[in-house]
Amino acid sequence: MLNILIQKELKSIIVSNKFIVTFVICSILLIMSVLIGINEYKQAVTQYETVHQMADERIQQVSSWHSVSYREHRKPSPLMIFTSGLSYDIGRWSDINSRSTVKLKNSIYSDDPIFAVFRIIDFTFIVQIIFSLLAILFTFDAVNGEKEQGTLRLIFSNAVPRTKYILAKCIGTWLGLLIPILIPILLSVLIVMLFQIQFSSQEWIRLAILIFISILYTSIFVVFGVFMSTMSRSSNVSFLLSLVFWITFVLILPRGGVMASGNIVSVPRIAEVEGLKVSYAKNKWEEYYKNMNDIFADSRNNNTEEDEDISDDMMWANMKAQDSLRKEVTRDIEGNEATLLEDWENKRKAQQHLGFMLSRISPAAVFQLAAMSLSYTDIDLKSSYESALRNYRIEFNKYIDKKSENAGPGAGSIMITMDSDKGMDLKVGRDNAIDVSDRPKFTHPKVQLGKILPDVLINISILLLMFTSLLGGAYYSFLKFDLR
């Protein structure tokens, strides 16, 4: 019985125009998006390799250890072909040296803002928006359409249990939609293979999970459409209802969750934090200069011309005090800076956590978060890269300090020393390039599948819960549906 009903659903979809239209739309969109994604990825790889090579060449031409600086680039992930996520928004490189702090700069969108206006359509976008909409278009009249058509009475004049009918509606329509979306998905994967994009085994697994989640996400809208079609006698009403819910859950709620969290957890803007940092530092330095003036004024008042030896001692003591105070102020400012940043980071994380939690009421948000996390193009991409770069900077600077120390005074630069006994001395360093071949190499942060799996499983569970709830809703609603 179930089999007969499923076959009929499948057959009626396959012979309909919507099947062909869906297949054509999905094929064109997915293939185009993957081709664009491959092109973008290849460009990103070429750029990464070229710039890396240039940075290597540049560092080899440096003649002073003090001026050694390296520019480390973010390595593009091949999964950005399917889920670009934040990879176009986040900066691509950061300078590594002792002078500047780590900060990823120059994102693709900041270089070419035109792409930010109409953002790139990738696989995730197509699934999130197009597939969900198609699923609704396939199912909004699944039950009440049959009633309007007049076939529902005839079906239920046979010994058909309602459970089997509603299950067959869901499964049959799901299969009918799966064919025109799965074939283009597989074609896209084939294109990626044909273009010889290197995927590691972990990346293949991630892609397989991404496809699974995409199908699960689309299934939610299939069941949702069937549910809506049991809620009203008229297919026009169920279409409007479905559209309103789709707009709410796909377009509004993901943004709404983030906006609500922004109002609940207040996070100061980074400019405000910078302002607080500067103001604190300014106050501290003013205090320092005031203290120093007081110390010097005291010493001037206590100093007499006859007491020259004592005066020299006092001067050294003052200089020591000045140095110690300066170090203390610097430590204090750095400590305050770290506290402010940590506080800001904690608030930002709390806001982000709450925002994502609230957004998860929408299947679209759950899907997007899971897809970005799987493709390693999520919100953690920036922080994990910057954290890895900061660690690398420490290692790099240690290396430079060590090399500089071993190279002796000058170390390739001009060194001026002043000594009260020896007087002033000026040394010019070597004029040939320094050897940096043994410098520490940056390890690109890689999030292992095992690490993100719990989060992905949570997202899958939420999607499954939504799916079963809607299926239950469709079943319960159909039990009360007037078949006449």
Partner 1 sequence: MLENNKQVILEAINLTKKYDDGVVALDNLNFQICNNEIFAMLGGNGAGKTTTINIFLNLLEPTSGDAKVCGVSSHIEPLTVKQNLAYVSENVMLYPNFTALQNLDFFTQLGGRLDVSKDEYREVLMRVGLAEQVHNKKLKSFSKGMRQKCGIAIAILKDTKAILFDEPTSGLDPKAGYEFIRLLNDLKDEGKAVLMSTHDIFRAKEAADTIAIMNEGKFLMKEKASTLFDKDLESLYMQYMAVHGLKPTTEGV
214's tokens: 């995409």
From candidates 2, 62, 407, 483, binder to partner 1 by CB under 8 A: 483
Does residue 20 belong to the site contacting partner 1 (CB under 8 A)?
Answer: no
Q: Looking at residues 147 to 166 of the shown chain, list those that interact with partner 1 (rule: CB under 8 A).
A: 149-151, 153-161
Least gap, CB of 234 to partner 1 (angstroms):
16
Least gap, CB of 166 to partner 1 (angstroms):
15
Assess contact for 235 and 149: CB atoms under 8 A.
Answer: no
Assess contact for 142 and 225: CB atoms under 8 A.
Answer: yes
Q: Which long-range contacts (CB under 8 A, 24 or more apart) does 349-354 make?
A: 350/265, 351/261, 351/262, 351/264, 351/265, 351/267, 352/261, 352/379, 354/261, 354/264, 354/265
Does residue 457 belong to the site contacting partner 1 (CB under 8 A)?
Answer: no
Output 175 or 453, the one with its CB closest to partner 1. 175
Assess contact for 209 and 371: CB atoms under 8 A.
Answer: no
110's tokens: 């900041």
DSSP state of 417: E
Least gap, CB of 471 to partner 1 (angstroms):
22
Output 1 or 278, the one with its CB closest to partner 1. 1
Output 146 or 380, the one with its CB closest to partner 1. 146
Output 82 or 138, the one with its CB closest to partner 1. 138
Least gap, CB of 16 to partner 1 (angstroms):
6
Least gap, CB of 167 to partner 1 (angstroms):
15
Does residue 4 belong to the site contacting partner 1 (CB under 8 A)?
Answer: yes
Does residue 186 belong to the site contacting partner 1 (CB under 8 A)?
Answer: no
Least gap, CB of 157 to partner 1 (angstroms):
4
Least gap, CB of 153 to partner 1 (angstroms):
6
Does residue 12 belong to the site contacting partner 1 (CB under 8 A)?
Answer: yes
DSSP per position, 56-123:
HHHHHH---GGG--EEEEPPPPGGGGT--TTTTTS--EEEESSSS----B--HHHH-HHHHHS----H
Least gap, CB of 221 to partner 1 (angstroms):
23
Among 176, 216, 106, which Cα is nearest to 461's? 216
Query: Which segment (9-17, 171-179, 278-286, 314-322) binds partner 1 by CB under 8 A?
Result: 9-17
Q: Looking at residues 40 to 69 of the shown chain, list those that interact with partner 1 (rule: CB under 8 A).
A: none
Output 158 or 406, the one with its CB closest to partner 1. 158
Backbone angles phi, psi at 332, to 5 degrees: -60, -45
Measured CA to CA, the distance from residue 434 to residue 441 in angstroms comes to 17
Does residue 11 belong to the site contacting partner 1 (CB under 8 A)?
Answer: yes
Output 226 or 364, the one with its CB closest to partner 1. 226
Q: Element (H or E) spanning 306, and its range?
A: none
Measured CA to CA, the distance from residue 320 to residue 472 in angstroms comes to 78
Q: Element (H or E) spanning 22, and its range?
A: helix 17-61
Query: Which segment (4-12, 108-116, 386-394, 467-475) binds partner 1 by CB under 8 A?
Result: 4-12
The binding site for partner 1 (CB under 8 A) comprises: 1, 4-5, 8, 11-12, 15-16, 149-151, 153-161, 483-484
